[in-house]
């Protein structure tokens, strides 16, 4: 069970196979590393005795591109890749990205828009009855009706448009093995309706007992508020312990049935997944094309956990990985770290040890082990739950073991650090060692905003928590004698953020002396609370109205305010300040953001006359400098003559 899985018919035959059980169609290049979905799913199937062929980035305009192995014995598996294909292709302004890190050489355009649908329809065009199972982040977050930002429409479940038989949502390890076993036992794909972590199409609900019926797709298209209510019902049923079966009706008596989520992996199961015989590289056929850039970010990193109970509104982790933390053992992580140290390009630095949130290394509370996550309450928002276990000791022990390994010079922590969770820890040992050993010059954190009205919509802690964290971080570094800085991630135009809130954020940037090179505009991606706010104008948690900045010009002003020091943003900043009633920030006082000057053709905050004056001043300075040089030369010559005369007299 070593080496890459077959990617061509010749490779299949060289491995002694005439046919494969599954053909995996991927929107990403084939990288056999546990940070890539294609690697994990195919290796798990292989470990359970199934054969798999991989077709990476097929030509969706050519039917033959998915017929490389012929018809698989059991099913086609389809994934758009590690990212939603639309996020992969387009910026928040809907402009085409220039680079795709999951494609050889970073070339853009090797997968189609809405890749899951396109690939599935391509297969169905050739193989009419072969089962198609779809999964991955794109399918997972589009499993039921969802708002699609790029078309600005409420779209149907991806199952309805893809022609696929079953959708796997979440990480998929449990579901894919159970589906494989069911198909191998001879059960028809239409009868596999019992697997957790899956969704399927049906016209018959007679076999369902305990389920929640959501509003129909047709009704939600007519009434956005119905969609907001439906989404929150889905959100409250994402936990494997308490989540119920959901049914979404469509026209012609069709239904999408979403089974309850798969159970979280145990520590032993997590260890088993990461102990599979990955080659840990991209396929050698990509070498001449420049390799696959995405592997460089994870090549020398360790994934220690999955899931997140942070509850950020703009994050889809609740829908995809769930709120129950799943962690690997120290032994598993140390074993992988040793493998990393043996790689020829390893320079002594482990780039990261974490996951969605690095310092969540155990379940939020003891109740979750038996009852799961609370369906109607968050662990950290708006304030930490009384049952929350705040303890960094196990994660800290892991980091100490890793940095003690031979050949390891330093272990970085670059995954998201929850600063509020650190502040709730009464023991500062982890915080001190984080600063002393696990960062280099700067620590990136994500306060996202400073206005509490916006933070409440983001599901983030109040700004006072971040302020306390920043002060403590500074004191710890001063005591350690280190000059290390905080780099805050900031987001503009999130639902709830008006121009006044954006100005407040700009004032914060001013006060900390920070000039962000990049600012992230809020990006409405499928299946997040924030996206529902963007589309419906209400917060689905309480159905109250939310201000949503949608106008491109206003969004540009909000972004410009955060980067107010950039001269090119002067006009936008001035307009925003005046509209927000904050003309007091235009002036020469140290608290002001911009001076009260007109704009020139260059877009810089001075007029042509000022520019001419500056030019004249520069010429004058140059002239004076030349005169000073001439004076120096004259003085030097006079000194030389005097010295010569003195020498003559001496002789």
What average pLDDT does the chain have? 92
Domain 443-606 class in CATH: alpha beta
pLDDT for res 425: 97
C-alpha distances in angstroms, 393 versus 165, 167, 426, 604, 639? 46, 39, 12, 52, 75
d(CA 495, CA 387): 30
Predicted structure pTM score: 0.90
Chain segment 298-322, per-residue pLDDT in tens: 999 999 999 999 999 999 999 999 9
Chain segment 436-492, per-residue pLDDT in tens: 999 989 999 999 999 999 999 999 999 999 999 999 999 999 999 999 999 999 999
Find the mean pLDDT for residues 203-208.
94
Which of the four pLDDT bands, split at 50, 70 and 90, describes residue 416?
confident
Chain segment 132-191, per-residue pLDDT in tens: 999 999 999 999 999 999 999 999 999 999 999 999 999 999 999 999 999 999 999 999
d(CA 16, CA 352): 39
| Partners of 445 in the β-ladder | 488
Q: Do domains 300-440 and 443-606 have the same CATH topology?
A: yes
Which of the four pLDDT bands, split at 50, 70 and 90, describes residue 626?
low
Which of the four pLDDT bands, split at 50, 70 and 90, describes residue 225?
very high
From the list 422, 327, 309, 316, the residue with the least C-alpha distance to 365 is 309
Find the mean pLDDT for residues 559-586.
96
Number of Cβ within a 10 Å radius of residue 138: 27
Chain segment 36-78, per-residue pLDDT in tens: 999 999 999 999 999 999 999 999 999 999 999 999 999 999 9
* Stated length of the chain: 651
The yes or no reply on domain 9-200 and CATH 3.40.50.720 is: no
Extract the runs of DSSP E, i.e. beta strands, from 513-601: 520-521, 538-539, 544-545
Is the pLDDT score of 593 beyond 60? Answer: yes
Those residues with Cβ within 8 angstroms of residue 513's Cβ, 6 or more apart along the chain or in another chain: none
Task: Tell me what percent of the residues of the chain surpass a pLDDT of 90.
Answer: 88
d(CA 45, CA 276): 11
pLDDT for res 519: 85
Find the mean pLDDT for residues 212-233.
98
From the list 564, 502, 106, 41, the residue with the least C-alpha distance to 294 is 106
pLDDT for res 602: 40
Which of the four pLDDT bands, split at 50, 70 and 90, describes residue 629?
low
From the list 566, 453, 466, the residue with the least C-alpha distance to 512 is 466
pLDDT for res 376: 86
* Residue-range domain boundaries for the chain: 9-200, 300-440, 443-606
Q: Identify the architecture of domain 300-440 in CATH.
A: 2-Layer Sandwich (3.30)
Find the mean pLDDT for residues 424-434.
97
pLDDT for res 619: 52
pLDDT for res 190: 97
Is the pLDDT score of 366 beyond 50? Answer: yes
pLDDT for res 598: 60
| Cα 458 → chain centroid | 15
Cβ proximity of 189 and 159 under 8 Å: no
Work out whether the CA dihedral 636, 638, 641, 646 comes out positive or negative.
negative
Chain segment 232-286, per-residue pLDDT in tens: 999 999 999 999 999 999 999 999 999 999 999 999 999 999 999 999 999 999 9
């Amino acid at each position: 069970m070593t080496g890459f899985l077959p990617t061509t018919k010749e490779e299949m035959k060289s491995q002694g196979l005439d046919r494969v059980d599954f053909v995996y169609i991927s929107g990403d290049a084939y990288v056999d590393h546990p940070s890539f979905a294609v690697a994990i799913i195919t290796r798990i199937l292989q470990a359970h005795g199934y054969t798999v062929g991989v077709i990476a980035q097929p030509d969706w305009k050519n039917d033959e591109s998915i017929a490389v192995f012929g018809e698989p014995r059991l099913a086609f598996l389809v994934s758009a890749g590690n990212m939603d294909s639309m996020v992969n292709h387009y910026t928040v302004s809907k402009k085409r990205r220039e680079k795709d890190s999951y494609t050889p050489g970073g070339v853009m355009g090797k997968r189609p828009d809405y890749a899951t649908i396109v690939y599935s329809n391509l297969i169905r065009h050739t193989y009419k009855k072969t089962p198609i199972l779809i999964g991955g982040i794109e399918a997972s977050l589009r499993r039921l009706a969802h708002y699609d930002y790029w078309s600005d429409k409420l779209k149907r479940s991806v199952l309805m448009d893809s022609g696929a038989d079953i959708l796997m949502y979440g990480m998929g390890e449990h579901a894919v093995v159970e589906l494989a076993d069911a198909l191998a036992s001879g059960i028809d794909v239409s009868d596999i309706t019992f697997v957790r972590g899956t969704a399927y199409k049906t016209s018959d609900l007679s076999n369902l007992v305990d389920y929640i019926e959501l509003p129909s797709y047709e009704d939600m298209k007519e009434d956005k508020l119905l969609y907001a209510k439906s989404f929150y019902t889905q959100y409250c049923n994402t936990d494997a312990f308490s989540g119920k079966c959901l049914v979404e009706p469509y026209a012609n008596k069709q239904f999408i049935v979403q089974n309850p989520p798969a159970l979280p992996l145990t520590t032993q199961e997590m260890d088993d997944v990461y102990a599979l015989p990955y080659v840990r590289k991209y396929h050698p056929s990509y070498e001449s094309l420049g390799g696959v850039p995405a592997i460089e970010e994870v090549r020398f990193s360790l994934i220690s956990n999955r899931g997140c109970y942070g509850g950020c509104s703009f994050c889809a982790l609740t829908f995809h990985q769930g709120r129950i933390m799943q962690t690997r053992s120290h032994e598993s992580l140390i074993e992988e770290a040793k493998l990393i140290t043996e790689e020829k390009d390893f320079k002594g630095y482990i780039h990261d040890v974490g996951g969605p949130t690095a310092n969540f290394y155990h379940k939020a509370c003891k109740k979750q082990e038996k009852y799961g996550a609370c369906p109607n309450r968050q662990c950290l928002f708006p304030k930490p739950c009384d049952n929350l276990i705040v303890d960094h000791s196990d994660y800290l022990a892991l980091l100490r073991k890793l940095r003690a390994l031979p050949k390891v010079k330093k272990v970085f922590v670059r995954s998201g650090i929850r600063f509020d969770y650190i502040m709730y820890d009464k023991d500062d040992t982890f915080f001190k060692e984080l600063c002393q050993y696990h960062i280099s010059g700067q620590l990136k954190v994500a306060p996202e905003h400073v206005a509490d009205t916006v933070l409440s919509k983001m599901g983030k802690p109040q700004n006072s928590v971040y302020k306390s964290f920043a002060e403590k971080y500074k004191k710890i570094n001063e005591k350690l004698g280190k000059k290390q800085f905080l780099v805050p991630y900031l987001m503009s135009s999130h639902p709830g953020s008006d121009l006044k809130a954006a100005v407040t954020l700009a004032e914060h940037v001013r006060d900390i002396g920070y000039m962000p090179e990049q600012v992230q505009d809020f990006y409405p991606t499928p299946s997040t609370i924030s996206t529902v706010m963007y589309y419906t104008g209400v917060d689905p948690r309480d159905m109250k109205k939310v201000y949503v900045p949608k106008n491109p010009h206003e969004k540009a002003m909000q972004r410009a305010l955060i980067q107010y020091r950039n001269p090119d943003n002067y006009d936008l900043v001035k307009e925003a300040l005046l509209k927000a009633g904050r003309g007091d920030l235009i002036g020469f006082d140290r608290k002001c953001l911009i001076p009260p000057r007109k704009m020139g053709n260059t877009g810089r905050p001075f007029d042509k006359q000022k520019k001419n004056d500056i030019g004249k001043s520069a010429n004058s300075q140059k002239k004076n400098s030349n005169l000073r040089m001439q004076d120096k030369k004259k003085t030097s010559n006079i000194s030389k003559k005097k010295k010569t005369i003195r020498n003559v007299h001496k002789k």
